[in-house]
Amino acid sequence: MIYLDNSATTQMDEDVLTAMLPWLRQDYGNASSIYGLGRRARVAIEQARADIAECINAHPAEIFFTSGGTESNNTVLKSCVDESALADTIAVGATEHHAILHPLEILAQKHTTAIIPVDENGVIQKETVQMYNLPRTLISIMHANNETGIIQPIQELRSQCPEALFHTDAVQSFGKIPFDVQQLGVDFASFSAHKIHGPKGVGALFIRKGIDFKAHQQGGGQERNRRAGTEATALIVGFAFAAKKAYREMQQRAAHTHSLIALLRKELSDVEGLHCNTPEENTLPTIIHFSLDHADTIDGEAILQSLDICGIAASNGSACVSGSMQSSHVLLAMGRSKAEAKAAVRFSVSRHTTKEEIQIAAAALKDILTSLRG
Ligand code: PLP
């Protein structure tokens, strides 16, 4: 199999698993217990917290472990308007992941919400965001888009809105490009482990010091009363291990993946009617996204199924909508037609992807398009 869906999830590294195993076997204690077995788990979790904090230039007390990006996003949105009562209005980018857009739909029943439009490249302009610079407003804009890979100018957008609270979903960018909470000036940020060769089911939420944030999930007093539930020690240790490794190897990984994306771009540049939605600049080094100009005559699902028959795993962008094959809300927000938003292919690579795999995938896509048009 040629795996080109690394933005959906990645293969967990063997050394990540090795780092996790003791916490699933002999060191199974509850980190809240006062005896040695529990205290050892507590030490491991606090070390992991310090490691994640160091990656993003935060203080360890600003890092809260969650079950992943979805929980981190839900927690910020819901707690800000409900439990913490910090905001009355939420404004989010039009191309956000469903882990932002779907909770927003629910919150819209009781709170004021708004969708911030993007330009034709999927980027939010600073003039557009300025109107949300109001006290008691939460703005949520993702760092990098999971379908097209475009990077939003978070630092600039944040600086336009000093009155508002600012959250960024950094699930796709974390560990792939630098992310510094001080430089970006955000109040909240969401992260996930399984996009960087870590385990599934664990992530983190950055909450800036000084914000009076209350738990969205109630129960025990874990995570300093901000996220109830026994900490998943092994997952947390695996997350920190994968994150430290991603940061150590960031430059080398980015150079490798970027060269593969450039190769794919070149190989597919002459395919008639294939439109690349990932600009060459200000994008993640791991994603390239295409749609079809004459999508009304081609079945987008058939492209992905044909790639699968060739042994190539790719998707149309968002793992959460593939299978049901809806039109991409990201492309629609960028002003594309419904048909084009349905016939899309995203290739996302990792440090394990090879040049040969890219050449095979490009040739396969060309053949598939020729036969489907046939
Ligand atoms: N946010 C973005 C941008 C994502 O790409 C994803 C996963 O695809 C999520 C949030 C959800 O993260 P998780 O799978 O850890 O819940």
| Nearest atom, ligand 1, residue 73 CA | 10
Overall residue count recorded for the chain in this entry: 374
Mutate to test the pocket of ligand 1, among 75, 95, 150, 171 (most ligand atoms within 8 A of CB): 171
Q: Measured at the alpha carbon of residue 294, what is the angle toward residues 304 and 311, in degrees to the nearest 5?
A: 15
Q: Give distance in angstroms: CA of 222 to centre of ligand 1.
A: 23
Torsion angles phi and psi, residue 283, rounded to 5? -135, 160
**Topology of domain 250-372, CATH:** Aspartate Aminotransferase, domain 1 (3.90.1150)
The reported pLDDT for the residue numbered 296 is: 74
Report pTM: 0.97
pLDDT digits (tens, 9 = 90+) for 179-209: 999 999 999 999 999 999 999 999 999 999 9
**Topology of domain 14-248, CATH:** Aspartate Aminotransferase; domain 2 (3.40.640)
Per-domain residue ranges of the chain: 14-248, 250-372
Q: Give distance in angstroms: CA of 104 to centre of ligand 1.
A: 15
The reported pLDDT for the residue numbered 342 is: 84
Torsion angles phi and psi, residue 241, rounded to 5? -60, -50
Q: What is the distance between the alpha carbons of residues 24 and 88, in angstroms, rounded to a whole number? A: 42
First and final CA of the chain: distance in angstroms?
Answer: 26
The reported pLDDT for the residue numbered 318 is: 56
The answer to whether the CB of 68 falls within 8 A of the CB of 201 is yes
For residues 357-364, give the mean pLDDT.
98
| Nearest atom, ligand 1, residue 96 CA | 3
Does residue 293 carry a pLDDT above 60?
Answer: yes
The reported pLDDT for the residue numbered 323 is: 54
| pLDDT classification of 298: cutoffs 50, 70, 90 | confident
| Nearest atom, ligand 1, residue 70 CA | 16
320 is catalytic: yes
Does residue 317 carry a pLDDT above 80?
Answer: no
pLDDT digits (tens, 9 = 90+) for 280-292: 999 999 999 999 8
Same-fold call for 14-248 versus 250-372: no
pLDDT digits (tens, 9 = 90+) for 98-135: 999 999 999 999 999 999 999 999 999 999 999 999 99
Q: Kindly list the protein residues whose Cβ atom lies closer than 6 A to any atom of ligand 1.
A: 68-70, 73, 97, 99, 142, 146, 169, 171-172, 192, 203, 319
Q: Give distance in angstroms: CA of 108 to centre of ligand 1.
A: 21
The reported pLDDT for the residue numbered 324 is: 59
Average pLDDT, the chain: 95
Q: Which of 120-124, 215-219, 341-345 has the lowest mean pLDDT?
A: 341-345
